[in-house]
Amino acid sequence: MDEIFVPIFLFAAIVAIIWLYSHYNFKKRNSAHETLRLAVEKGQQVSPELVERMSAMSDPVKSDLRRGVLLIAFGIAFIILGALMPHDEPEAMRGIVAISSFPVVLGLAYLGLWRFSHD
């Protein structure tokens, strides 16, 4: 019975982490826009530098580079972790490499998007 809870918990944790990241990222952007809106409503001067910094906060080109590098680093770190852990099964390392290939491939895709988006 316990064997079924491990995969369920693993996938639920992945979904929860993605949701939390998206939720707090949304709240951060919403808070910045709300602050800018209040400043405009109160008649304060909004400098072009401030608007440029706020638009750079959600720049997809920068985000692609950052995400690509982080995903590749995560995949490589996972491979290193698997190599350093003692294991009796010779196929264990193959499974770890297979699992870590997902973030590496996603990272390469993000780096490709970054490379082709600012030509």
**pLDDT tens sequence across 82-103:** 888 777 777 778 888 888 899 9
What is the C-alpha to C-alpha distance for residues 42 and 52, in angstroms, rounded to an integer? 20
Tokens of 26: 């949304």
In 3D, which of 114, 14, 117, 116 has the Cα closest to residue 66? 114
In this prediction, residues 10-21 reach a mean pLDDT of 85
In this prediction, residues 16-26 reach a mean pLDDT of 86
For residue 76, what pLDDT band results from cuts at 50, 70 and 90? very high
What is the C-alpha to C-alpha distance for residues 50 and 44, in angstroms, rounded to an integer? 12
pLDDT at 44: 83
What is the C-alpha to C-alpha distance for residues 41 and 56, in angstroms, rounded to an integer? 23
pLDDT at 65 over 80: yes
